[in-house]
Amino acid sequence: MLNIKVEINNILEDIKKISKEKEIVVAFSGGLDSTVVSALAIQALGREKVEAISVSFGEYGYSKGLKNIHDIGRALDLKLKIVQGKKEQERVLKKGPACNKCTRIAKLGRVKKEASGRLVLTGSNQSDTWGKRGLKLYDGFYAPLLELKKKEIRKIADYFDIKILQIGENKFREGCKLKHLLKPLVAPHYHGKAVAEANELLLTILEEEGYESVLANVKIIGPLNKNTGLINVSPLPEEKLKGKIIKELKKVKTLEQVEFLDKPIRLTIKANKGQFDNQHSRHWLEKGRLQPDFSVPIEVEWLLTTNKSLSTFQVIDYQIIG
């Protein structure tokens, strides 16, 4: 069993050792992991040696996101800097969904540039792919929580009495709307606007209705010339609330179709040759990337794309199978 005080002391000593007690930067999102890292860094090094840098993605972040970042910054008395990353994000996702690449370039890349040679602390841990596959110290980045799971990080947060405002579809994530765009971001004014408006609207409705969900998102799928919104809410709301959500989402001008998911579905996915030929990659995408964000069981029909511009995958269609 994790002895929380011993674990915290071990992390504090590790931060001091790795940083050589020099000034550091925290890649700060306002989510659970980066907030815990910030609190630990302050404990280890003192506030004067810790600067939190947050990347703003404009409408692709939830409206509560920036407020949460500032609120936590004040609560921890952090030196806080906000930089813009929307354009980098749009460039990265133009050829298909690529969360890890987006994190590496549009998020951590921007922070590293602003850090100007200072060590960058991240919240990577065993609950994300960076934590499972990455190194604790690499190329100017250091992940003090790398060996921990989300449950253990929450215990540290509780120890420091850290409260995280729910700003996305999950209480312990900072909330990135573009993870729900399951096609290339070719036209930000169309594809980007659809995923941004639909997901903001869904969470606003649920909050206004006082509905507590553990999962809530609108996945945007379809060919490039048609946006279909697949609504995921768990637990499944009653018909009255479902009807209201559908009615309001149909008003989003960049959405041609909406479907509230309450039965298993089959997704038709086109993938580039590298991903299509890699069974491990396809399994991880289906079970690790997609299924956890859907409120119903999913199956996948895989197709090899002929689109040479597609560097990852695109969900082009769906079918109710339940």
Identify whether 116 is part of a domain: yes
What are the tens digits of pLDDT across the range 221-243? 999 999 999 999 999 999 999 99
What are the tens digits of pLDDT across the range 40-51? 999 999 999 999
Look up the CATH number of the domain holding residue 316: 3.30.300
154, 211: one domain: no
185, 289: one domain: yes
Cβ(136)–Cβ(142) under 8 Å?
yes
154, 189: one domain: no
Distance CA 43, CA 315 (A): 45
- In the structure, what pLDDT confidence band is assigned to residue 167 with cuts at 50, 70 and 90? low
16, 144: one domain: yes
Domain boundary among 129, 159, 189: 159
* Residue (of 295, 292, 291) closest to 234 by Cα position: 295
Domain boundary among 125, 159, 193: 159
What are the tens digits of pLDDT across the range 97-140? 999 899 889 999 999 999 999 999 999 999 876 656 678 999 99
Give pLDDT, residue 171. 44
210, 108: one domain: no
Identify whether 191 is part of a domain: yes
Identify whether 9 is part of a domain: yes
Identify whether 171 is part of a domain: no
Domain boundary among 159, 192, 207: 159
- Res 62 pLDDT > 90: no
Q: Would you call 313 helix, strand, or coil by DSSP?
A: strand
Identify whether 155 is part of a domain: yes
Q: Where are the alpha helices (DSSP H) in the chain?
A: 4-19, 32-45, 63-76, 86-92, 99-102, 108-115, 129-133, 150-159, 193-208, 239-249, 273-276, 279-283
Distance CA 11, CA 227 (A): 46
Give pLDDT, residue 132. 60
Distance CA 175, CA 172 (A): 9
Identify whether 174 is part of a domain: no
Give pLDDT, residue 174. 47
308, 188: one domain: yes
What number of CA atoms fall less than 13 Å from residue 167's CA on the CB side? 25
Give pLDDT, residue 247. 98
9, 107: one domain: yes
Look up the CATH number of the domain holding residue 94: 3.40.50.620
What are the tens digits of pLDDT across the range 245-295? 999 999 999 999 999 999 999 999 999 999 999 999 999 999 999 999 999
Average pLDDT of the chain to the nearest whole number: 92
Token pair of 62, please? 């939830």
Which residues touch 54 (CB under 8 Å, ≥6 apart)?
28, 29, 30, 69, 80, 81, 82, 83
140, 205: one domain: no
Identify whether 120 is part of a domain: yes
146, 185: one domain: no
Give pLDDT, residue 303. 98
Give pLDDT, residue 235. 97
Identify whether 175 is part of a domain: no
Give pLDDT, residue 207. 93
Between residues 173 and 286, the one the model is more confident about: 286
What are the tens digits of pLDDT across the range 176-225? 899 999 999 999 999 999 999 999 999 999 999 999 999 999 999 999 99
Give pLDDT, residue 314. 98
What domain range is 260 assigned to? 180-320
132, 214: one domain: no
Report the domain count for the chain.
Answer: 2
Token pair of 310, please? 């597609």
Give pLDDT, residue 168. 52
263, 312: one domain: yes
133, 230: one domain: no
